[in-house]
Structure 1
Amino acid sequence: MFDFVRSSLHALWMLVTVIPYGIAVLVASLWQRGEPLYWIAASWLRLAVQGARVICGIQVRVSGMDNLPVGQTSPAVLLVKHQSTFETFLMPTLMPHPLAYVFKKELLQIPFFGWAMSRLDMIHIDRSQRAQAFVKVVAQGRRLLEQGTWIIMFPEGTRVARGEAGAYKSGGTRLAIETGAPVIPIAVTSARCWPRRAFVKRAGVVDVSIGPAIPSVGRQPDELMREVQGWIESEMRRLDPQAYGAADGSGLQPRDA
C-alpha cells in the first residue's frame, strides 16, 4: 500500500509539472530552437527523476562516464537496455550532450509531453514505412551528429521484463556505420524499481553502466549488434544477477530495424 501511495504521488508530481514545462517549451519555440530549447525540456525530465528519488526512493548509481566521447562535436550512438520508462527520462539528465531519440510519431499526440517533443530536434518515424523511415533516420541522424547531438536508441525496440532479453534489432548499428559514429552500449537495471507497464514503483537502486565506445567503421550491422548485445546482456547479469537465474537471452540474434 505504501508503494502505491508513493507511486500515486509521483504520478501526480509528473502530471502537475509537465503542463507548465510543456507550455514553456511551446512558447519558447516561437523564437528559440536547438540546444537551448532542448535543455528547457530536459529540466522537466530532471524533475521527474528527482521526484522518483525523493517520493519513491529510487536512487541512481552510474559507472563508466569516462567511456563517453570527449569533445563538443564528438559523435556517438547510444544503444540502451530498455526495461521501463525510467531510462527514457534518465538519460538526458546524465549525458553532457543533447540527445535525439528515435521514436514512433504516435508519441507526438500525448498532451503537453508529446506537443513539447514535436518542437525539439528529434527523429520521429512512421513505422509502417520501414524503408523510408530508415532513410529519414540516417539523414537526420547525420545532421544531428555533425552538430554535436548524440543519437539514442533502444535496440530491443520495446520494454522487456526484468531478467529477459528482447530481440536486438540492427537499426542502431546500421545508423552508426552509415555515419561513422562509435556505438556506446549502456546497461540499465531500471526494472528493479520501475517495472515495465507497472504503475507501482519500488524503492531501490538503479544501476547504469556505460560501456567502452565501439568503433563502427568497417563493421557489419548484425555483427556489430551481436557485440553490443553481448556486452549489454553480460553486464546486466553482473549488475542484477538475481533477476536472471536460468534465463539466458544471450543467444538472440539481431534483426533488421
Structure 2
Amino acid sequence: MRFVIIGAGRVGLRAGRVLREEGHDVTLVECAERRVRRARNESFTVIDGDGSREEVLEAAGVESADAVGALTSDINVNFTASMIANHHGCRTVMRIDEAYREEIYRKYADEVDEVIYPERLGAIGAKNALLGGTIRAIADVAPNLQIVELTIRNEAPVNGYTMGELELPANARILAFGKRDQPLEIPTEDESLEKGDRLVVLAAFEELSNVRQLLVGESPTEAIANAGKAGTGTGGVN
C-alpha cells in the first residue's frame, strides 16, 4: 500500500520506518532541512515542502495514496493536510498533541478517520509502568499488535455497560478511557460506557474486527473493512 506521512519528526519518521519494514511504499513530506536530510539519509522518498499546501501533497502522490498521516507537531498543518487528503479520497489520520486544543478539534472528528495522541498515550504507558501495571511502553509493542482509539456509538453492544462488565477477546486490552470531551485516563471498573466515550485498545490484528463490532457497533462487514485499514495504518496509534 502507499502512504504519505506529513512530518519527518520523531512520530512521523518512526511511523514511516514501521510501514516500510512491513513492505509498504512511504513518502514523507517535511520542510525542515535537518529532518529532510535525516530522512533521505535513511533512504526515504521525501518531498521538501509545507504539508498544508495542496501542490506539495500532490507532488507527494496524495492522489494515489491509500492513506495520509498528518503527524507534525503543528495541529493546524495537520488539520489542513487531512482536509486535502480527504478531498482526494484518502484515509486520514491526524495527530493532536496539546490537550487544550482537543475540545476544539473534536468538532472536526467526522472529517478525519482517526485522531491520535502520541504524547498522551506514552504518558499513560509510563504511568501504568510506574504503578506496576502489565501494559508495556508503546515503543515495545510487538509488530503484530495495533493500538486504536474507538468511539462508542448508540448501536454498540457495550453501550450501558461498566468497565468491569466489559469482556474483550483474549488478545485485546484497554489502555485508556475517556468520557465524551474529557481527557483520556486509565479506567476504573465502575466507569460507565456511553455514546461518545472513547477507548484506546491494544489488540492483535486478527481481533480488531471483533473489537470494533463490540465497542463501536459496526456490522461485521464494516468492522472487517475498518480493521483492515487500521492494520495497515500509521504507526499503531489511531
TM range (shorter): 0.3 to 0.5
TM-score (normalised: structure 1): 0.33
Q: Relative contact order: is structure 1 or structure 2 higher (C-alpha 8 Å, sep ≥ 6)?
A: 1
Q: In proportion to residue count, which structure has more strand?
A: 2
With normalisation by structure 2, the TM-score equals 0.34
